[in-house]
Structure 1
């Protein structure tokens, strides 16, 4: 079973994403900010990370840069999931190592397509 780490400071978004991912047969873990997500990745690297941009403590972009610089051989796929929808944000995320980008709010079909595009669904 594929494992997904949902990183978002919103409990509501994490709950919605968890429900969708579990219907897609993912084992799901959650983190409320980038620092917590980094700790979880250091313990056990997931197959994919669903990552919010704007969070306290450590932003999604800071987490992504740290993750990609970590040198782990088993790097997860990263799908940014955010309300930031301008091309500058999308380009910055992809340049920093994100594999895909999905806009909030999202539905099951949209998320499933993005996960298929990165090769985990």
Structure 2
């Protein structure tokens, strides 16, 4: 079964994402900030990460750079969530190794699309 770590300082966003991802047969874990997320990744690397960019303690971009430099940190598919269409922020995230991005607030169809398309692409490569 696939696993996904949902990283967001909003408990509401984490809860909504968890429900949708569990419906897609993901085992879901949650983290409130980048530091907690990195600690969880060091314990067990998830298959995917849904990552907010504005968080206290360690923001999404800092986490992403740390993750991609860590052993095994290139394997998770990372979907970056942004609240505004800031092309500069998105470009920095893409350069740091994010796989995809989406705007918040999101709906079920949008989130499902980010994860079901990716799963289908990976299955066709394998």
TM-score by length of structure 2 reads 0.89
Q: CA deviation at 1:107?
A: 1.1
Aligned counterparts, 1:1-121, within 5 A:
1-72=1-72, 75-119=75-119
Structure 1 residue 120 displacement after superposition: 6.8
User: Aligned residue pairs: how many?
Assistant: 121
Q: Check 1:73–1:80 CA distance in 2 against 1; reply closer, same or farther (3 A cut).
A: closer
Structure 1: gaps spanning 5 or more residues? none
Q: Deviations over 1:47-86 (max 9, x none)?
A: 0000000000000000000001113266201000120322
CA RMSD of aligned residues (A): 1.6
What CA deviation, in whole Å up to 9, does each residue of 1:66-118 have, x standing for no partner?
Answer: 00111326620100012032211111111110000010011111111112343
Structure with more of its chain in helix, by fraction: 2
